[in-house]
Structure 1
Amino acid sequence: MEKLELIKAQESDKDFLFKLRKATMVEHLEKMGIFLSDEEHLSRINFQFDSAYILLKSNQKTGVLKYIETEHLIEILQIQVLPEYQGHGIGKSVIKDLIETAKTSNKNIILKVLKENPARYLYERIGFNTVDEDNYEFHMQLIPNKT
């Protein structure tokens, strides 16, 4: 697979991020009875925006990765891949790179995934385990040095 590039998201990427979010999240949210306004979607895009990276493959914007790294933890806040690029190993590749970072720095990785989102199965195959849940999401964790 050709190399993916991660570039820091800029203000000019927000239109792309909005379309990406609508294309990847609305279906799963609505299956759960969650109907968000455009303002609510934009609010989610703006949350921790300085931690967002655009995924590029062959100079094409294919998705977003938003994560926070602290002293002991990496938290994936968002990973979204455009539908036409899903199933091409992009999400898996990005997560595996984060796992390598986590291994070298001895950090666990956590994320939350909507219960209706099939990405959950990708996370399980990679080694994430469900450690908690709420009404809408599974809370997952990967302890890299145990995989």
Structure 2
Amino acid sequence: MYMDPDLRYEKADDTDLDFLLRLRMKTMNPHYAESNLPTDRETTLQRVLYNFDKAHIIFLHHHPIGLLKINKTDERIEVLQLQIDPDYQGKGLGRKILTHILNEASETGKTVWLSVLKTNKAQSLYSSLGFCIVGENEHSYFMEFSDL
């Protein structure tokens, strides 16, 4: 996993669930509400637990500020979830994390895939990094980056 002097990643475990539940409620529930999707605690917890074995807490200067869930296969890197605490958004951290993922993908000949809710303004960040919409459903866009 990518290392930076300021950013550090640690594999999440059960002791992180309260932090991750609060983070998800702050970062995602407004988008889910706007999309008329459930925002109750149980549904939110299920989203936190989805692919939990791939979850890493993002630390900035030893302070937990976010979550990165990533799945790497032979063909692609899937960004399953990337959440940055709203207090730390707009400081280039998401761009820095994604840029490193894109560099790794380029070096290994992989594509990068993610989905984003249509109501989530993060899609402009993804587009600015070179992601293209390759599909959609009622609530989300499916985006891919490839420099192959």
Q: 1:73-92 maps to which residues of 2 (within 5 A)?
A: 73-92=76-95
The answer for the alignment partner of 1:9 in structure 2 is 12
Task: Give the deviation of 1:32 after TM superposition.
Answer: 1.1
Q: Equivalents in 1 of 2:5, 2:91: separation in Å?
A: 11
Q: Is 2:118 aligned against 1:115?
A: yes
Q: Which stretches of structure 1, 4 residues or longer, exceed 6 Å deviation after superposition? A: none
Q: Equivalents in 2 of 1:90, 1:13: separation in Å?
A: 21
Task: Give the deviation of 1:2 after TM superposition.
Answer: 5.6
Unaligned runs of 5+ in 1: none
Q: Equivalents in 2 of 1:70, 1:35: separation in Å?
A: 30
Task: Give the deviation of 1:35 after TM superposition.
Answer: 2.3
Question: Percent identical across equivalent pairs?
Answer: 34
TM-score (norm: length of structure 2) = 0.94
Q: Tell me the alpha carbon deviations over residues 105-146 of structure 1, each in whole angstroms, 9 at most, x when there is no partner.
A: 110000000000000000000110101110000000000x35
**AA aligned opposite 2:92:** G
Task: Give the deviation of 1:99 after TM superposition.
Answer: 0.8
Q: Equivalents in 2 of 1:95, 1:58: separation in Å?
A: 19
Match for 1:30 among 15, 28, 33? 33
TM-score (norm: length of structure 1) = 0.95
Q: Tell me the alpha carbon deviations over residues 20-67 of structure 1, each in whole angstroms, 9 at most, x when there is no partner.
A: 000001111111111232111111111111101111001011100001
Match for 2:74 among 53, 60, 71? 71
Residue correspondences, number = 145
In the alignment, is the contact (CA less than 8 A) between 1:63 and 1:79 conserved in 2? yes
The answer for the alignment partner of 1:42 in structure 2 is 45
Unaligned runs of 5+ in 2: none
Q: Equivalents in 1 of 2:13, 2:99: separation in Å?
A: 24
Q: Equivalents in 1 of 2:35, 2:51: separation in Å?
A: 24
The answer for the alignment partner of 1:101 in structure 2 is 104
**What secondary structure sits across from 2:33 in the alignment?**
helix
Q: Equivalents in 1 of 2:83, 2:5: separation in Å?
A: 18
Q: Tell me the alpha carbon deviations over residues 69-88 of structure 1, each in whole angstroms, 9 at most, x when there is no partner.
A: 00101011100000000001
